[in-house]
Amino acid sequence: DVKVTQSSRYLVKRTGEKVFLECVQDMDHENMFWYRQDPGLGLRLIYFSYDVKMKEKGDIPEGYSVSREKKERFSLILESASTNQTSMYLCASSPPEWKGTDTQYFGPGTRLTVL
Amino acid sequence: AQTVTQSQPEMSVQEAETVTLSCTYDTSENNYYLFWYKQPPSRQMILVIRQEAYKQQNATENRFSVNFQKAAKSFSLKISDSQLGDTAMYFCAFDRTLYGGATNKLIFGTGTLLAVQP
């Protein structure tokens, strides 16, 4: 089974702090994704990476950056956390093409609260 | 723009009954992929079912089936014999294809919270 893990389930940070959210997948997937999930808004794509050191902005990249130094690890960085970044953050991974029953595989999520 | 719309924020169903969750989408592409995901309370999001647009036959996975109406751009999920474990948030998602090719980047609807009542 594919396993996607995230470094923390719950995180509380102060406004202005630099925040790192880590995601690791064990299926050698090329694609990795960061989403934020908010009530009434569904999941929105923040950043996408299709290979090591390759990244692409999603729909809401402002205030975020990412890092992918190794294939299995994709980090989301909040350079200076703000209260409007309080949210649930989901990481996902997938193979490069939709074959068979391929899908995106999700981590358990990190609920971040910025005070 | 490619969009996904789920018009039912919440639904409730009695155990053992059938429920249908609605999803519509908008795209100018001819071939694409559609997905239903399930997010149980405090648990990971998992795939329920997927449909490839070029396939006429509706996808089925055990008690879960879809009604895919390509012309109407509708992709509803039917859950038969509802069980307490089906209580979850359900998201419809669409692969934002580009020039006929899948991008693997999904657009999600806003979700439907389904409660199965005993």
- Alpha-helix runs per DSSP H in chain B: none
3-state secondary structure of B57: coil
Token pair of B53 as six digits: 């647009």
Measured CA to CA, the distance from residue A100 to residue A105 in angstroms comes to: 14
Measured CA to CA, the distance from residue A28 to residue B108 in angstroms comes to: 24
Average pLDDT for B4-8: 96
Residues of chain A scoring pLDDT < 50 = none
Token pair of A43 as six digits: 């999941």
- How many CB contacts within 8 angstroms connect chain A with chain B? 49
User: Range with the lowest mean pLDDT among A101-115, B32-46, B67-81, B100-114?
Assistant: B100-114
Residue B27 has a pLDDT of 86
Name the residue facing A43 among B9, B102, B108 (closest C-beta): B108
Residue A101 has a pLDDT of 63
Q: Provide CB contacts within 8 A for A67, sequence distance 6+.
A: A74, A75, A77
Is residue B1 predicted with pLDDT exceeding 90? no
**Residue B94 contacts A, CB cutoff 8 Å:** no
Is residue B28 predicted with pLDDT exceeding 80? yes
Residues listed for chain A: 115
Mean pLDDT of chain B: 91
Average pLDDT for B34-57: 91
- Chain B residue numbers with beta carbons less than 8 Å from the beta carbon of A108 are 43-44
**Closest CA of chain A from B101, distance in Å:** 10
Question: What confidence tens digit (pLDDT) does each residue in B47-63 have?
Answer: 999 998 888 889 999 99
Token pair of A35 as six digits: 């989403």
Question: What confidence tens digit (pLDDT) does each residue in A66-81 have?
Answer: 999 999 999 999 999 9
Token pair of B73 as six digits: 């751009």
Residue A2 has a pLDDT of 64
Of all residues in chain B, the percent with pLDDT exceeding 70 is: 95
**Closest CA of chain B from A73, distance in Å:** 18
Average pLDDT for B77-97: 94
- The residue to which tokens 């990249």 are assigned: A61
| A101/B106 touch (CB, cutoff 8 Å), yes or no | no
| A31/B110 touch (CB, cutoff 8 Å), yes or no | no
Measured CA to CA, the distance from residue A78 to residue A22 in angstroms comes to: 12
Residue B101 has a pLDDT of 67
**Residue B41 contacts A, CB cutoff 8 Å:** no
Question: What confidence tens digit (pLDDT) does each residue in B88-108 have?
Answer: 999 999 887 766 666 778 999
**Closest CA of chain B from A87, distance in Å:** 14
